[in-house]
Amino acid sequence: MLLSRTKPAVAASATGPDDCGGSSQASSAMESRLPTLEEFLEKRDFTGAMALLEFTGGAPSGSASTSSQLEAALWTAYCAFHLGQHRQAMRIYQDLLSDKSMPPPL
C-alpha cells in the first residue's frame, strides 16, 4: 500500500466536509511528521522504507558518518531484496564488499 494513497482518505475522514476550525491544525501537525524507518519495516512497507532511505541518505557525503552511510546502504539492499530487486541488492552488497574504507565482514 502506498503511503501517498492513504493520506487523503485519512485526512478526509478526520476533518470531514462540515468541520472547520481547530482540528485542521492538529491533522496538519500529524501529517507533517515523517515516519521512521522502523515504522515502515514493521508494516513491511519496503517501498516506503527505500524512499525514506533515499530521501534522508541523499545528503552530501561529508555531512553523514561512515557508519550511518553503511547502515543506510545495508537497509536499502535489504528493502531492494524484499521488493524483488535482487540485482540492485546484489550490486549494493558487492559495492560495500569492494569498498576499502568499510569495515571487514565478520
Are both 20 and 66 inside the same structural domain?
no
Are both 48 and 20 inside the same structural domain?
no
Total-model pTM: 0.62
Are both 64 and 51 inside the same structural domain?
yes
pLDDT band at 12 (very low <50, low <70, confident <90, very high): low
Are both 29 and 13 inside the same structural domain?
yes
Owning domain of residue 27 = 1-33
- Look-up of cell digits 569498498: 99
Distance CA 45, CA 22 (A): 32
Are both 41 and 29 inside the same structural domain?
no
How many folded domains does the chain comprise?
2
Are both 65 and 44 inside the same structural domain?
yes
Across the chain, what does the average pLDDT equal?
Answer: 77
Among 19-28, 30-39, 43-52, 85-94, the range scoring the smallest mean pLDDT is 19-28
In the predicted model, what is the mean pLDDT of residues 59-88? 83
Distance CA 90, CA 85 (A): 9
